[in-house]
């Protein structure tokens, strides 16, 4: 593992190059919109997701609308993001679970988030960090690769990388590191 001084220099450089404004690159107004945009972002660019959600969130303005959506129509609506069968199914199912099990509110617990269809640790941590300001490490392909190259981890499994980064980074940089 790298020494504390090296990590501090790295974080200062990253802070200088990438000022933190706590914004997500995905466009959203509600917690569930960020959740659905993040589900759509798998294997898709943020720009494409933002194009799709611009019309999607107008067509389906509520969790109730997503839960009641015709699955085949929803698939057509999200087709441009790829893997549209599963993404549409996960969004529809998650909307139903948020309504039935959480009273239409986004759960603030990692384990509850992980029970939502299509939600893995990356998505759950992103929700925790951006919606609830809970210190969380979001490990995507880029974070995994760069962290390995910088010597911040010797692991390649995203969950192990997440735990390694939690050990070496100050909490103030956990959500920022992504």
What are the residue numbers of the active site? 122, 140
Distance (Å, whole) CA 113 – CA 128: 9
| Residue 86 neighbours by CB distance under 10 Å | 14
User: Token pair for residue 128?
Assistant: 């925790």
State whether residue 20 is helix, strand or coil. Answer: coil
Distance (Å, whole) CA 75 – CA 4: 48
User: Cα 142–25–21 angle (5° rounding)?
Assistant: 100
**Tokens 């589900």 belong to residue:** 39
State whether residue 47 is helix, strand or coil. Answer: helix
């Amino acid at each position: 593992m790298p020494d504390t001084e090296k990590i501090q220099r790295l974080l200062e450089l990253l802070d200088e190059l990438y000022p933190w404004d706590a914004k997500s690159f995905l466009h959203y107004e509600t917690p569930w919109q960020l959740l659905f945009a993040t589900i759509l972002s798998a294997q898709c660019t943020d720009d494409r997701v933002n194009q799709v959600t611009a019309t999607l969130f107008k067509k389906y303005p509520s969790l109730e609308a997503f839960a009641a959506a015709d699955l085949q129509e929803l698939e057509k609506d999200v087709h441009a993001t790829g893997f549209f069968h599963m993404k549409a199914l996960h969004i529809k199912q998650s909307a139903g679970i948020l309504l039935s099990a959480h009273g239409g509110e986004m759960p603030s617990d990692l384990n509850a988030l992980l029970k939502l269809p299509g939600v893995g640790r990356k998505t759950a941590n992103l929700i925790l960090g951006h919606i609830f300001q809970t210190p969380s490490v979001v490990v995507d392909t880029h974070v995994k690769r760069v962290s390995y190259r910088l010597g911040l981890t010797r692991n390649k499994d995203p969950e192990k990388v997440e735990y390694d980064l939690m050990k070496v980074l100050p909490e103030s940089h956990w959500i920022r590191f992504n």
